Chain A
Amino acid sequence: MQFLSFLISGLSLGSVYALIALGYTMVYGIAKMLNFAHGDVIMVGAYLIYVVSTMQGLPIWVGILASVVGCTVLGMVIERLAYKPLRGAQSLAVLITAIGVSYFLQNAALLIFGSSPKSFTSVINKKPISLFDGALVISWEAILTMIVSILIMVALTVFINKSKQGKAMRAVSEDRDAAQLMGINVNRTITLTFAIGSALAAVAGMLLCSSYPTLTPYTGAMPGIKAFTAAVFGGIGSIPGAMLGGVLIGIIQMLANGYISTQLSDAIVFAVLIIVLLVKPTGLLGKKINEKV
């Protein structure tokens, strides 16, 4: 029973990681950059819900809407101002700029909201389900997280595989120049990718802070790194890989937390990652790239 409870909390945390990792992996696949500011978009999304629903007292759905729209716009603005001028530059330069954006978001939040943690009101207000005479307690947040994540993943998979824009995204990630020659608007496709990734981050922020309700300017940093780990774990650039990686990382973390040690759970997650990468150097579902001379 204990195992089941750890498994469920792991699945729930893992689906949040998967949502964040999707943003990482899509941006990586299309723009070939590691968007280190992605984790901080989660934090911005959570603060937006906090401001609209908790501070202003508007209904929760208004807060969620504001957060998703706000993050989508934020993602597009970041892309336009910071990353677009660097298209074609060294990847390290883009990486550092992304870190600069991440610092900027954290410090802007620090100035506006201060460093003291805000307590986030869960978007769902129901008592947890108790099964087997209380031996197994499942929170509604965990259920909501899993349902929302599955819905989003299905929708995203359909979008990528069936729609015209999705096809354009796949084409750009395959070969940017060839896609441009075929008449695909590469810049618009990249902006769209950032918009989708940031919207997912807003949802992830809402779900994460509903389960773990302390909100600080650094809330997004660690989940961001974990999700980045998850994206690499699954094979960066691969969408099913990000989902699988996220869920696995979440489960490993929760099991390690429950059975081994709370303090060591991060180290264990990273150790598993290293072992997996040693066996499969391009992640679980990553493409093997053959080198040409």
Chain B
Amino acid sequence: MNEKAIKLLGGKRPKDKNSWITVSIVVVLFAVIEIIKGTGHISNLLSGLLVPICMYITLAVSLNLVVGILGELSLGHAGFMCVGAYSSALFSLVTKDAIPMTWLRLILAFLIGGLFAAVFGLLIGIPVLRLKGDYLAIVTLAFGEIIKNLVTILHLGVDKNGIHFSTESIAALHLEEDGTVLIKGALGITGVPKSSTFEIGFIIVMITLLVSLNLINSAKGRAIMAIRDNRIAAESVGINITTYKLFVFSLSAFFAGLAGVLYSHNLATLTANTNNFGYNMSISILLLVVLGGVGSIRGSVIAAIILTALPELLRGLSDYRMLIYSILLIVIMLFNASPKLVALRERFSIKKMLKRKKEAQKEVRADG
């Protein structure tokens, strides 16, 4: 770690004002929803969305660490979530009777889910060191698909002889009569205690946010962003690229794992398919990050809230819902990123106009 070099490069610590705004937005929203919930004015639809919204915020922020801060494209984020979900669900299922305290079991489940995902992040981080850009994107996509694929064929059971596993069927486990099947291949895990609540989701979101924002504003964070902006320059001032990349990848995977735990403890049956742990999910998370603004944590939070609620709010349009969603997506992207439209927006932006007016006045004064 070369704190000195970073200090020389980065200068003063940037102000944390932005971070506080982000954190306060989340806290205020939480308080408002808690009040609405307390007075009983919450609709079923909204209350069902609360845990998924927390999950998506966590996922978006964690992917933003990789895409926005480290500057590498990852298309396999759902894979980490899958690891977290399955490992913690298995843990909770096994210890349902052994640990009666829900809070303790849940804390342990979160730790296990997060750590397992982080280990996978580390494993995937190793090839990351050799690859760049689109090649890296396809490798992460491949890892995500492999994880999903392996999970769907995994059968696991336990009896007095120990643990049995098979990739074929429940019968191939050869369990004794008193044995129980824990993971049923494509049928997944059933009977995981449904202990995810909005409050727990909020705590997870806060942990993710605080750690991420602190990281970004620290010397480490500036070193990571230096790698993103110019790898060779960063390397030549003594920043250890390998360590930092692995660190960010596993940290991001850890948070994705936490989101997975949140997810798996919110369901009666946990199964893996393309829409929850496959490529589609990874893309959905990437959508949140890009729409919120690459590198902007606050953007990720807001995008996660709006985009999770949007398809539900559009539900009245029934069949046309996803069509309209996709058109909205294209239009937003064009509006946000098209160079011509960006130039047009700047011309008509009120902020800029006022600034221009002020400058003109200043010039007049200087002339006078």
Contact = CB atoms under 8 A, between A and B. Distances in A.
Interface of A: 28, 34, 82, 85-90, 92-97, 99-101, 103-104, 107-108, 110-111, 225, 228-229, 232, 236, 261, 263-264, 266-267, 270-271, 273-274, 277-278, 281-283, 291, 293
Contacts of B134: 28, 34, 232, 236
Interface string B165-201: 0010000000000000000000000000000000000
Interface string B325-357: 111011001101111110000000000000000
A277 B322 contact: no
A107 B326 CA distance: 8
B135 A86 contact: no
Given A85-B341, A86-B338, A263-B152, A92 B73 contact: yes
Contacts of B339: 86-89
Contacts of B99: none
A228 B141 CA distance: 11
Contacts of B233: 293
Nearest to B144: A270
Range of interface residues on chain B? 35 or more
- Interface SS of A by simple majority: helix
B273 interface: no
Interface in B206-265: 232-233
A94 B167 CA distance: 40
B104 interface: no
Nearest to A262: B153
Interface string B271-304: 0000000010001001100110010000000000
Contacts of A101: 326, 330
Contact of A97 (B132, B150, B334): B334
A99 B336 contact: no
A103 B291 CA distance: 16
A110 B145 contact: no
Contacts of A228: 138
Nearest to B274: A221
Nearest to B133: A91
A271 B146 contact: yes
A34 B323 CA distance: 22
27 contacts: A34-B134, A82-B330, A85-B334, A89-B337, A89-B338, A93-B333, A93-B337, A94-B337, A97-B333, A97-B337, A99-B329, A100-B326, A100-B329, A100-B330, A100-B333, A103-B326, A104-B326, A225-B141, A229-B138, A232-B134, A263-B152, A263-B153, A270-B143, A273-B139, A277-B135, A282-B135, A293-B233
B319 interface: yes
Contacts of A99: 283, 287, 329
